Chain A
Amino acid sequence: MLEVVDMAEPVDIIVRAFVFIGILFIITKIIGKKQISQISFFEYVSGITIGSIAAEVIMGLESKISYGVIAIIIFGVVTLLVDFASLKSKKFRDSAEGHGTVFIKDGKIQEENLKKERYSADELATLLRRKDVFKAADVEFAVLEPTGDLSILLKKENQPLTAKDLRLKVANEKEPQTIIMDGKIINDSMAEAGKTRAWLNLELEKLGVTIENVFYAQIDSYGELTVDLYDDLIKVPSPQERPLLMAMLKKCQAEFETFALETESEQAKKMYNKNAKRLTEAINKLAPYLNG
């Protein structure tokens, strides 16, 4: 009798563990990324409960598997229903998922709201420091999200400098496409970037590497190829076309100015000057794209 129990229990645990791994996997797949990020209060509650039920049923051999499965499915289905209902109604959303509490407004700490959420000044300071803010006076606006994170808006003078602040014209860049991974060409990304294998072979030849030696390769927004090789001792030249083009434009512009000074014909001088000016214009126009 004793021997039978000894054999049956481990087998039972193994079966239960596999069953619940399967169920948890399926439930989280169905509910999706939202469950994992636990943005709302409701997902947080259902997340910990589903986990606890599974653990309880796997280890507590006296409880039935089917009861555990039913409980988990109910939690999963209710979470899903709450998600759909939240999409439909703003009112429902506010009560089920909660909404943020304003902690700092117009640069002033809202003591009433801190008290309402039972946060001390020390805890507020901790949350601010997590966002790399050590001085409360630097913050214009801060909200405590339903997840317990603090989102902050710094005062304009404390925000990082952007190209827009400098009134600098910068080129827009598209996401780079990864076209080789582990030495294998990824056809989807090649199509996305509008490139053929012939083009790739030519570019690799220019760099002097074979495709088998490439661990990782990407195409940037300008169609330039950058590669990482398995052999880290080989130095691969970085793309030089854009700086080179800029250098050629500047050289050309300088030559036109020299010609303008050297020539004796009035008409030619005018032509050279006009075109030198146009080249300067072209250089300015291309600068955001070529100096990247």
Chain B
Amino acid sequence: MTVASSVNQSVATLKNIEAQLSIFALNSQDETASRTFHEVMLMMEDIKKDLQARVTKLELEEPQYKNN
């Protein structure tokens, strides 16, 4: 497995986490719980952006491993 593809896998996991957090944020009956889920979801979004930028860079450096 190339670096780019394993980093890509992490991006997918992060997306999954983000979606699940958003479900919990919507479904929670308690307001603090709902807010916490939402805050962490925004945090995950930032982390995901950082990681995606890294993927783009990796693919530029090693175009032969570009994930189609």
Contacts and interface: CB of A to CB of B under 8 A. Distances in A.
A193 B27 CA distance: 9
A273 B26 CA distance: 31
B20 A268 contact: no
B54 A271 contact: yes
A148 B14 CA distance: 61
Contacts of A289: 24, 33, 36-37
A136 interface: no
A200 to B, nearest CB: 13
Interface size bracket, B side: 20 to 34
A197 to B, nearest CB: 16
Nearest to B16: A248
B32 A172 contact: yes
A75 interface: no
Contacts of B30: 171-174, 221
A218 interface: no
Contact of B33 (A172, A252, A259, A281): A172
Contacts of A244: 20
Interface in B16-68: 16-17, 20-21, 23-24, 26-30, 32-33, 36-37, 39-40, 43-44, 46-47, 50-51, 54, 57
A286 B27 contact: no
Contacts of B37: 286, 289
Contacts of A259: 3, 6-7, 10
Contacts of A174: 29-30
Contact of B50 (A172, A252, A271): A271
B33 A251 contact: no
Given A248-B17, A271-B50, A285 B36 contact: yes
Given A259-B7, A286-B40, A193 B17 contact: no
Nearest to B54: A268
A245 B17 contact: yes
Contacts of A268: 54, 57
B57 to A, nearest CB: 8
A282 B33 contact: no
B28 A249 contact: no
A245 B47 contact: no
Given A171-B33, A252-B13, A268-B54, A223 B44 contact: no
Contacts of A205: none
A256 interface: yes
A279 interface: yes
Nearest to B41: A282
Given A241-B20, A271-B54, A278-B43, A221 B33 contact: yes
A282 B18 CA distance: 12
A84 interface: no
Interface in A151-173: 171-173
A173 B50 CA distance: 34
Q: Which 7 A-B pairs have the closest CB atoms?
A: A223-B27, A174-B29, A275-B47, A282-B40, A221-B29, A245-B20, A255-B10
Given A171-B33, A278-B47, 11 more contacts: A174-B29, A222-B27, A222-B33, A223-B24, A223-B28, A252-B17, A255-B10, A263-B3, A268-B54, A275-B50, A281-B43
Interface of B: 3, 6-7, 10, 13-14, 16-17, 20-21, 23-24, 26-30, 32-33, 36-37, 39-40, 43-44, 46-47, 50-51, 54, 57
